[in-house]
């Protein structure tokens, strides 16, 4: 089979695998395809049988496992197994799944990869107790991610306004939820990028801009 025909066949199989009208039996067959793209579509399909999803959770290709996490009907039992997946992007995708429990978020908040912890920091469902711990994370990009979570309490914003890294303070300066009292302090920050960031905050007063 030439490349053009093979490409057309794979495209057809992927389309079939993504179709929610495809029978469970056929989805099970497609889940054994040699093409990762076909298996990924099966993993994403909300009609794929749980037994098939369980097998795809151990697929050798991380793209398939990541696609599985994007399936809204994948059970928590499978999600819990993927907490220790060796590919960080799979663990990162877990954070925003609708079925992800507080227990899973707590574990991911201590993940070895900063991008996973940053995703937890941005997640609006993350409990305040976890957010408070992430406010002291060793990676400044995780702390900065907290600022972009509009569910964090003002007390955490106040703490991050004095963060050791200018990038975090600049993010606080841009945040529309940051109280004026904090903005006034940031207006005299030692780093010019922090002071310039105030101009992008809709609540910055004229007096602060003059500073």
pLDDT at 124 > cutoff 70:
yes
pLDDT number for residue 4 = 79
Residue 207: count of CB within 10 angstroms of its CB: 10
pLDDT number for residue 207 = 59
Residue 210: count of CB within 10 angstroms of its CB: 7
Give the mean model confidence (pLDDT) for residues 80-100. 95
Q: Give 5's pLDDT tier (boundaries 50, 70, 90).
A: confident
For the entire predicted model, the pTM comes to 0.88
Give the mean model confidence (pLDDT) for residues 189-195. 95
Measure the CA–CA gap between 83 and 101, rounded to whole angstroms. Answer: 12
* Domain residue spans of the chain: 153-211
Q: Give 160's pLDDT tier (boundaries 50, 70, 90).
A: very high
Q: Give 203's pLDDT tier (boundaries 50, 70, 90).
A: confident
Residue 87: count of CB within 10 angstroms of its CB: 15
Q: What is the DSSP string of 118-157?
A: HHHHH-TTS-HHHHHHHTT-SSHHHHHHHHT-TTS-HHHH
- Model confidence over 6-22: pLDDT tens digits? 888 889 999 999 999 99
Give the mean model confidence (pLDDT) for residues 38-43. 98
Measure the CA–CA gap between 72 and 160, rounded to whole angstroms. Answer: 34
CA angle 153, 156, 157 (to 5 degrees): 90
Contact 143, 163 (CB under 8 A): yes
pLDDT number for residue 13 = 95
- Model confidence over 132-159: pLDDT tens digits? 999 999 999 999 999 999 999 999 999 9
Residue 50 exposed, middle or buried by CB count within 10 Å (0-12, 13-18, 19+): exposed
pLDDT number for residue 123 = 96
């Amino acid at each position: 089979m030439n490349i053009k025909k093979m490409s057309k066949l794979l495209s057809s199989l992927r389309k079939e695998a993504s179709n929610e009208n495809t029978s469970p039996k056929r989805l099970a067959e497609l889940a054994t395809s040699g093409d990762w793209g076909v298996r990924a579509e099966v993993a994403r399909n909300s009609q794929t049988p749980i037994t098939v999803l369980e097998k795809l959770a151990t697929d050798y290709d991380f793209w398939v496992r990541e696609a599985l996490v994007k399936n809204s009907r994948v059970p928590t039992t499978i999600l819990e197994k993927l907490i220790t997946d060796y590919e960080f992007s799979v663990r990162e995708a877990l954070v925003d799944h609708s079925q992800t429990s507080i227990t899973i978020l707590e574990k991911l908040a201590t993940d070895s990869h900063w991008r996973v912890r940053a995703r937890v920091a941005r997640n609006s469902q993350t409990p305040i107790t976890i957010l408070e711990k992430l406010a002291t994370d060793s990676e400044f990009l995780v702390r900065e991610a907290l600022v972009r979570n509009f569910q964090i309490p003002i007390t955490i914003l106040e703490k991050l306004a004095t963060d050791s890294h200018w990038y975090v303070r600049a993010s606080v300066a841009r945040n529309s939820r940051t109280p004026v009292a904090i903005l006034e302090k940031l207006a005299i920050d030692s780093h010019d990028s922090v002071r310039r960031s105030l101009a992008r905050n809709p609540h910055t007063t004229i007096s602060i801009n003059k500073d």
